[in-house]
Structures are given as structure tokens and as C-alpha cells.
Amino acid sequence: MRVGIIGIQHESNTFIREPTTFADFEAARSLGGEAIRESLQDTNHEVAGFFEGLAAAGLEAVPIYFAMTLPSGAITAETAETLVQNLLDGLSEAGPLDGILAAPHGAGAAVGDDLRDFDGCWLARVRQVIGDDLPMITTIDPHANLSERMVAASDAVIAYATNPHIDQKARGLEAAELMRRTLAGEIKPVTAAAYPPVAINIERQCTSAAPCRPMYEILERMRDQPGVLSNSIVLGFPYADVEEMGSALIVVTDNDPAQAQALADEVADYLISHRQEFAGEFIDIPTAIDQAVAGEGPVCLMDMGDNVGGGSTADGTFIAHELHRRADTTAYVCIHDPESAAMARGAGVGARITLQIGGKMDDSLGTPLEAEVTVRSLHDGDFHDSEVRHGGQTVYRMGDSAIVDTDTGITICLTSLRIVPFSIKQITSCGLEPRDFQILVAKGVQAPAAAYEPVCTSLIRVNTPGPTSADMHSFDYQYRRQPLFPFEEIGN
């Protein structure tokens, strides 16, 4: 039997001014056929789990089309149509199929009323092509904003169960096993979802700790019930102004839609009754640095307002300004600034130059940091990390980069490409050691924790301004559902 593999993955921050174009996907991944296998089968991505699980089951994997790029602004309508057409063209050329394994992100949003739910849109178009009888099993990021179209198009929907996302490959294996059992006639998966009117704050979305952990324990116990094939929590993505923004619960059963709905509603009721625990706690920049300086280092400060994994530009300077002003500690900061990186490279190792660092791409992320620096080292910015990390990737590119030191104790990595802080090798590949700094700044919220927790004594999430601010009240939503906690109060 032949199982097609498809996916379009983009976490779309609709509050970012610059839209995402097809060139962004081409620069990252826009792949057809066997190029998908070559690119992803040796990673920790869910598509790697698709390939491995299908092979173990004796099913033929038919890679069709896969595209992804870093989180960024809303996808242009033209790009959305190009992506979907590429996928549908590949589908028409793939020959007869017995099933589909699909890997959307779940928080894709494009420009246009019908395209705000971009993942629901393209999944629905695939379903129209393949018909109602061909099974399609879908994996999503828990930062999805789940729509009814996504659920209706899929026989089963499975979200990663960890944040940081270190179980992507495992979820791909789970999807492949469900496909095997479905094609063997052992099960008939059906999916139900509940949509509690609660938006879980990004600061509260660590799945290994309260308040999330007790909710995941409910799901673990639920899986022991007869007929339950899978269940998931959708944490939601607050930086997409779409109708579906917020949380959701998913249950997949063996041909029992009533059971699936009842169990999804049960967990939704738990979330509603515990909603105050998911509202978030905010620590301002001076307080966070005070705590970091007073404790045993290194301490990781999570720059939540410049969360690269949420679409931000990686050139925020609020924390860097405060560290520079205080000049009372040692710190490492990574800032995406191609101009300053080029100037440092042109000056050469050992040179002293004055730079205007960061704060050039989004005025909500602070002003440039003017500092006289010494160029410590230069790097091509490429590194590899085989450890299981958020996002499942193993190859990283910072572009031509420079390490510079200020006279106030800050070491700054200037990159020419925007990079997610998912690997500690972002630091060590440049000849630096985390233990040499009191403070490490990571531009994220939960995702960097898998890499930084092993080398840091503590992690402090800092309430910085920006297009990924943890304070959802700072955003002007036009399309979100109402009422929605914490914006409006809801009944129990």
C-alpha cells in the first residue's frame, strides 16, 4: 500500500508588518518527491517519523510536497495559492494512494478572509481531491489555532505533547501506526474537538510543569479507556489574529464520535474551571536582571517580546540596553543585525569599532544599542546539533557572524540570518562557553528551554515589549472569538 506524505508548515504572526512570501519558503524548504526524504528523514521532525513508521509497517512512503519556513508575518495570498497548487500538482502526479499523512503547522494564516485559516483551507482542498474514503491522518503543532475545517478534513488529528517540542518524531511514528492499523482494517479513527473560550498565555505553556502538566496527566489516564486511540491539547498561538485563536482539545476514538466529543468536552471543562492558572505571570526587565545577577549563574533570561520562534525579528534590544547601562555583570546576547555583522567582519578580529546594534527592523523592539566593541571572532554561522531539540531540526545557519565584546561585560553574537535559539551550539560553535557568563539571553519563551536548562541554574521569562509580547492585552485583535478569557470573563 502507498501512503502520501504532504506538509506546509508556517507559524504566522499577523502582527508582524512584513508578509511572508514564496521566496521565504524557497530559501528554507519547498521540496517535492525524494528531496523530502533526503532533507528530513535523519532529523527529529514528525516527517522523519512518517518515513520510519511506514517503513516499519511495510507500507510504501510516497513523498509528495513539503514546504516550511521560519515563523514570520502573514503569508501573502499569492504565496498561499502557489504553495497549495504545488501540493495539489504533486498529488495529481503521485499515482494511486491508499492514505495520506499530512503535516500542517496549524497556525498558518494568509492574507484574505478565506485564507486566515490557511491550514484548514489547504487540508480541505486536499480532502476534495482525494474524496471521503481515503484516510488522512494529520499532525499539528500544539501552537495551532485549531479550526473545524482542519478536523473535518482529517480522520485523526494529533498534536505534539511537549513544549519545548521534543516529541515531534514520536508523533510522526504515532500517526504512521494509526495509518497502518486503519489500512489493515483494525480501526476506524474519528476525531472530535472542543473549543473552550480560553486563550492560554504563552508564559504558561510549559508542558512539564503546572498548570499544564495536570491537564496532560488527565489525557494520559484517558488513553487507558477502551476505544481511545489518541488525544491532544492545543495550546493555541496568540500572535495570529484569527477567529480560531485560543485553546482546543482533541480526542480520537475507534469509530465512536460521541465518546470522542464527550471526552474532549470533559478536558475543556477542566481548562475552563482552572482558567485563572493559565493567565500568565510577568516579570519586568530590571527585576529579572536583579534576580539573575543575585543568583548563581549562568541564568537564562527568556526575551518573550522578541520570540524568534513566534515570528519576531531577533533584533530586540531592551534587555541589552539595560545590561549595558548597569555594566555590573557578564552576559551573552544574540542579535540579528546583518549590517553590524558585516562591519565587524570588515574591521577584523581585534579591531575596536563603534556599532549601532539591533533595533532596526521593528520599532516596538527597542532602539539600536550604540556601543564601542572589540571584535573577538568571526564565523560562517553553520553548525549541527544531533540532540533532540524544539523543532526537530539538526542543521542550523546563522549566516556570516561576528562575536563582539563591549566594555560593559556583554558579549554579542551578530548574525546575518535570523536564527531560532533552539541549540546551545549557537554559543559553543563560536568558541564560547555558557559557564563563562552570568546571564544568557535567549529570544524565546518555552522553546529554548530544552537547550538552555541543562547548562543554566534557572530560567527567567522576561516581559519585554514587541510583536510576541506575553501580554495578550497589548495586541489589537479584530477577528478573535468572543467572549474569550482573559479578555472577557466567562462562566464556569
Span 386-409, mean pLDDT? 88
pLDDT of residue 390 exceeding 70: no
Nearby residues of 476 by Cβ (< 8 Å), 6 or more positions away? none
Taking 90 as the threshold, does the pLDDT of residue 24 lie above it? Answer: yes
Q: Which residues contact 428 (CB under 8 A, 6 or more apart)?
A: 434
Establish if 228 belongs to a structural domain: yes
Q: What is the pLDDT of residue 287?
A: 98
pLDDT in tens, 340-366: 999 999 999 999 999 999 999 999 999
Give the span between the Cα atoms of 261 and 54, in whole angstroms: 29
Do the Cβ atoms of 110 and 129 come closer than 8 Å?
no
Average the pLDDT over 471-476 and give the result. 96
- Asked if residue 448 has pLDDT above 70, the reply is yes
Q: For residue 387, what pLDDT is reported?
A: 79
Residue closest to 423 by CA, chosen among 399, 445, 391, 469: 391
Residue-level pLDDT at 57: 98
Model confidence over 292-325: pLDDT tens digits?
999 999 999 999 999 999 999 999 999 999 999 9
Single-letter code of the amino acid located at 131: G
Mean pLDDT, all residues of the chain = 97
Query: Same domain, yes or no, for 38 and 166?
Result: yes
The CA distances from residue 392 to 47, 164, 220, 387, in Å, are: 10, 10, 23, 9
Looking at the fold, whether 376 and 452 belong to one and the same domain comes out as yes
Query: Are residues 188 and 329 both part of a single domain?
Result: no
Omega prior to 142 cis, within 30 of 0: no
pLDDT at 393 exceeding the cut of 70: yes
Contact 272, 492 (CB under 8 A): yes
Backbone angles phi and psi of 231, in degrees to 5:
-155, 155
Q: Mean of the pLDDT values across residues 102-120? A: 97
Q: 491 in a domain, yes or no?
A: no
Within 10 A of 167 (CB to CB), how many other CB atoms are there?
A: 20
Q: Find where cell 514587541 sits.
A: 466
Co-location of 449 and 373 in the same domain: yes
Q: Are residues 180 and 258 in the same domain?
A: yes
Q: Answer for the pair 353, 382: CB distance below 8 angstroms, yes or no.
A: no
Range of the domain at 80: 2-278
* 268/290 same-domain check: no
Reply yes or no on whether the pLDDT at 491 is more than 90: no
Task: Measure CA 243 to chain center.
Answer: 20
| Weakest mean pLDDT among 32-36, 39-43, 138-142 | 39-43
125 and 187, same domain (yes or no)? yes
Q: Is residue 490 part of a domain?
A: no
Cβ 339 vs Cβ 360: under 8 Å: yes
Q: 98 and 164 share a domain?
A: yes
Residues 180, 67, single domain; the answer is yes
Q: Is residue 486 part of a domain?
A: no
Determine whether 183 is exposed, middle or buried from the number of CB atoms within 10 Å of its CB (0-12, 13-18, 19+). middle
pLDDT at 226: 98
What's the pLDDT at 386?
79
| 212, 245, 278 - which closes a domain | 278
pLDDT at 392 over 80: no
Note the Cα 287 to chain centre separation in Å: 27
Beta bridge partners of 301: 441, 460
Looking at 278, 306, 321, which one is the last position of a domain?
A: 278
Q: What is the mean pLDDT of residues 249-277?
A: 98
Question: What's the predicted TM-score (pTM) here?
Answer: 0.95
Distance of CA 240 to the CA centre of its chain: 13
pLDDT tens, position by position, 146-170 = 999 999 999 999 999 999 999 999 9
Helix pair 168-183, 46-56: axis angle to 10 deg: 40
Residues 176 and 106 in one domain: yes
Count of beta carbons in the 10 Å neighbourhood of residue 195 = 18
Query: Has residue 423 got a pLDDT over 90?
Result: yes
Residue 478 inside a domain? The answer is no
DSSP 270-297: HHHHTGGGGS---B-HHHHHHHHHHSSS
**C-alpha cell of 284?**
519586568
Residue percentage of the chain with pLDDT more than 90: 95
H-assigned helices in 348-442:
425-428
Q: Which of 278, 308, 326 is where one domain is finished? A: 278
Does 391 score more than 80 pLDDT?
no
Total number of domains constituting the chain: 2
Q: Where are the beta strands (DSSP E) in 97-244?
A: 99-102, 136-140, 156-159, 189-194, 228-234
From first CA to last CA, the distance across the chain in angstroms is: 48
Q: Is residue 243 part of a domain?
A: yes
Q: Are residues 300 and 220 in the same domain?
A: no
Query: Around 302, how many Cα atoms within 13 Å sit in the side-chain half-sphere?
Result: 28
Do 304 and 461 form a contact (C-beta atoms < 8 A)?
yes
| Within a domain: 480 | no
| 227 and 356, same domain (yes or no) | no
In a domain, 482, yes or no: no
Bridge pairing between strands 29-32 and 60-68: antiparallel
User: What number is the average pLDDT over the span 210-237?
Assistant: 98
Residue 296: predicted pLDDT: 97
For residues 483 and 371, give the distance between their C-alpha atoms in angstroms, rounded to a whole number.
47
CB atoms within 10 A of CB 113: 7
26-40, 92-106, 370-384, 385-399: segment of lowest average pLDDT: 385-399
